[in-house]
Structure 1
Amino acid sequence: MVIAFHYDKLPLGIFGVDLFFVVSGFLIGGVLLDSREQPGYFTSFYGRRAFRILPLYWLALLISPPAHWGYYLFFIQQAPWLKFGFPLDEPNFVTWSLAVEEQFYLILPLLIFWLPRPWLVRVLWGGVLTAPVWRWIFDAYLAHPSWLCLMPGRLDVLFGGVLIAAFMRGYCRSRIAWAILALIAPIADVVHFALVGRIAALSVVALVCCIAVGSAAATKASVALRPLIWMGRRCYALYLFHIPVLIAFSRLGFGVYASFIALPAVCVLAELSWRLIEAPLMGYAKKTFAMPGTPSRQRCRAAPVQ
């Protein structure tokens, strides 16, 4: 959705970011909730995430060095944007969502590990309820949309996904809570539209899609879903490189045809990235940072020394 929005201005395609955040909260939250009592909880999570995200991210920064390199390196690139505005002319401006995601990774494992079940649910609800207020306040006092890139303003979609994962694991069996979670996003959007004149996010769509993803997770993928599976595995490289590739073809003089040429090019680049960089590193991390007692770790221990 986001790539289609940037390449051909797909209406509402930008809300693919909200869908990404909700699905991320649901999947990552589920992994952490399932492993919170296991040894190696932090090492396994952060080790795997580092090998998944950092190598390709650093490669993207090397290919297209941003103006504020230090901020990008530590995933705080939003800081100068609050002063100078959203840098739409930078090839790596889309990495703001990765910064939000990394900041989310810093706090969520701690919350799940330290907080008892009732308090965890309360804190997650607090994030869902306060995020719209955060967006309204920043929208009222900032002339540029950089407030959209701050993690506190995205906690409703991030923590909303975690809440779904928690509810599906019995953390809360109240149907009223499910109804509130489903209704809070559209209500917040209606109020935001009435106050500032535009809808901030279509989070409810993302929540519904996330539930559908969770329900379909146990079913066997059909042949019709294989293109989606291909994109899902390579979505990180597609997302990181689609703007630099588009800018490169635009500067080469392809004009209005740049997006049509850039799309297959970025798909080829994503395939190469998956085969040569991502899949090997993910396989290594899965073996190296497997929790004690998991099949991956047991296979490693059983392997004879050559």
Structure 2
Amino acid sequence: MPWKAAFPSHLPHFRRNHGAVRGRSSALSGRRTDARLRNREDLHSGQRSGPPPGNQTCPDEHLLQMSTQGKKLAWIQALRGIAALMVVMVHDRGALVGDGGAGRMVANALLPMAMGVDLFFLISGFLMVLTTRDFDGSKAYAWAFTAKRIARIWPLYAIVTLLAIAVDHHGLHGFADRSVLLPYLEGLAFIPHNPAASGLYFQMAVGVAWTLCFECYFYLVFALCMLFGRWRYGVMAGWFALTLIAIPVLRGGYHLGVASQPLVEWSRYANLAINPIVWEFVFGMLAGWLYLSQFTIKRNVMIYSSVVLLTATLLIGWHRIGMVNFFGPAGWGAPLTILFLGAVMLAKNGAMRVPAGLVWLGEASYSLYLVHVYVFVLAQRVMMPIPMGADSFRAMLFVARPVLAVMGAWLVFRYVEAPASAWVRKCLLQMTHRRHAQRSLPAWAGPESSARRISDGP
């Protein structure tokens, strides 16, 4: 067959496309050559090498696209899912507390699941280091980071707060009473309502929001330190040394008990800064630096697995004898940090494999954390009329509530959290991208690159 007959009508099109591809390849090659030349010039002049600042984009922790291969950090998503499910189960154990025999044994065995909170804090510190590793020192980057933290946490929490007012105060009546509204409004600003309350829970109007107070405090410190550019980690180290070591020592003693710190009377928010549970964010940051560093150990899955299993065994044993029974570095936090470091090294060496179901659960972990209590309440009210004995009813609640919470959380994530966060994020970035873009980029980047960079921030 003559060669023209093989593709008589496609050849001109093929030639045009082939020419276009070659043209694009040549242009791309030219840009890469220019970039290499700029990098060499930068090295000789002592400036920062690498791509031009305008081409850097701030990574997005919510999408988790910051692994060394450019893939999602599936193992981190899985850990978030595990952490959220642990919190769900420690709250679900309340269905069995009033039971006798086996039910009470199961409830007691589930108490250590509260360490899901410690795991959340470790993950937060880790991700803040990872997702800002391309930080260029600009205020625009710092604002984009802050805007995305707000968009990640606040919209769904505000919606859940409105739901809590309606549920706790029987409809719309709670919105008319200022004394009722005040704790909820303080909660929206992540201000501890009552730091003197027993335990560590601050008597927040939305019960689980006490952890968000610590999260947002850490994000605030991290964002402010970013304004110091390349000195940000030095400033951060100084701040944590001051608040977690120097001030507690000067106030009369230093210890790691998270629920027994001397109260700061003049500022409720200051009680967050001096609480030793903040160390867990610091430990997470150290894990992030380890993950990004050149440090590695010869790949041996058995070594890492043995360390993880040994630490898990010790953690269970320490809890059984009462040595480890609460949050913080003096409780579940210390052994959990060792477990987390083991997971980090496994992931760094490519030896981490996670089930897709846990990754799926991790995406909805924030929704699960916030809404599961209200799903529990709704499930109990719906199942209350079912005729059965008290023990059977408790067992049914114990099994059904976590399943319903996971289902409800995924719906909330899909139809409430994700759209609301995306909308708030877009609004916050659009409010300031024109003001920051030209100020933080060189003239050659152009207005289009400026707008795109701010829109695609951290």
The two structures have a TM-score, normalised by structure 2, of: 0.49
The alignment status of 1:245 with 2:367, answered yes or no, reads no
Structure 1 partner of 2:212 = 98
The alignment status of 1:152 with 2:267, answered yes or no, reads no
Q: 1:301 to 1:93 in 2, by over 3 A?
A: closer
Q: 1:75 to 1:123 in 2, by over 3 A?
A: closer
Is the Cα contact below 8 Å between 1:117 and 1:171 reproduced in 2?
Answer: no
Q: 1:90 to 1:70 in 2, by over 3 A?
A: closer
Select the residue among 69, 75, 89 that pairs with 1:4.
Answer: 89
Select the residue among 142, 153, 164 that pairs with 1:53.
Answer: 153
The alignment status of 1:278 with 2:417, answered yes or no, reads yes
- Alpha-carbon distance in 2 for matches of 1:64, 1:24: 26
Structure 1 partner of 2:27 = none
Select the residue among 121, 126, 149 that pairs with 1:26.
Answer: 126
Structure 2 partner of 1:43 = 143
Is the Cα contact below 8 Å between 1:25 and 1:162 reproduced in 2?
Answer: yes
User: When the two structures are aligned, how many residues end up with a matched partner?
Assistant: 274
Is the Cα contact below 8 Å between 1:250 and 1:258 reproduced in 2?
Answer: yes
Structure 1 partner of 2:333 = 203
Query: C-alpha deviations, 1:54-98, integer Å up to 9, x for none?
Result: 11101111111265212212111x232525877799882111101
Q: Which moved more, 1:19-28 or 1:36-45?
A: 36-45
Query: C-alpha deviations, 1:91-143, integer Å up to 9, x for none?
Result: 8211110111011111112224423554544545666657893544862768x
Structure 1 letter corresponding to 2:114: I
- Alpha-carbon distance in 2 for matches of 1:89, 1:128: 23
Superposition deviation, residue 158 in structure 1: 1.0
- Alpha-carbon distance in 2 for matches of 1:123, 1:88: 24
- Alpha-carbon distance in 1 for matches of 2:88, 2:371: 10
Q: 1:236 to 1:100 in 2, by over 3 A?
A: same
Q: How does 1:54-203 map to 2 (within 5 A)?
A: 54-65=154-165, 68-76=183-191, 78-82=192-196, 92-114=206-228, 115=231, 117-124=233-240, 133=254, 135-136=256-257, 139=260, 150-153=272-275, 154-169=277-292, 200-203=330-333
RMSD across aligned positions (CA): 4.4
Is the Cα contact below 8 Å between 1:52 and 1:281 reproduced in 2?
Answer: no
Q: How does 1:289-304 map to 2 (within 5 A)?
A: 289=429
Structure 1 letter corresponding to 2:111: P
Structure 1 partner of 2:356 = 226
Superposition deviation, residue 29 in structure 1: 2.8
Q: 1:164 to 1:90 in 2, by over 3 A?
A: closer
Is the Cα contact below 8 Å between 1:36 and 1:112 reproduced in 2?
Answer: no
Query: C-alpha deviations, 1:220-276, integer Å up to 9, x for none?
Result: 985x52111011110001100111221333345275132322222221221112221
Structure 2 letter corresponding to 1:75: F
- Alpha-carbon distance in 1 for matches of 2:379, 2:359: 27
- Alpha-carbon distance in 2 for matches of 1:151, 1:58: 24
Structure 2 unaligned blocks of 5 or more: 1-85, 94-106, 169-179, 297-313, 387-392, 442-447, 454-458
- Alpha-carbon distance in 1 for matches of 2:352, 2:421: 22
Is the Cα contact below 8 Å between 2:112 and 2:325 reproduced in 1?
Answer: no
Structure 1 letter corresponding to 2:117: V
Q: 1:22 to 1:137 in 2, by over 3 A?
A: closer
Is the Cα contact below 8 Å between 2:244 and 2:273 reproduced in 1?
Answer: no
- Alpha-carbon distance in 1 for matches of 2:295, 2:238: 11
Superposition deviation, residue 151 in structure 1: 4.8
Structure 2 partner of 1:181 = none
- Alpha-carbon distance in 2 for matches of 1:57, 1:270: 13
Structure 2 letter corresponding to 1:263: P
Structure 2 letter corresponding to 1:107: V
Superposition deviation, residue 36 in structure 1: 4.8
Q: 1:162 to 1:112 in 2, by over 3 A?
A: farther
Structure 2 letter corresponding to 1:111: C
Specify the structure having the higher radius of gyration (Cα).
2
Is the Cα contact below 8 Å between 2:89 and 2:113 reproduced in 1?
Answer: yes
Query: C-alpha deviations, 1:279-298, integer Å up to 9, x for none?
Result: 334555379849979xxx96
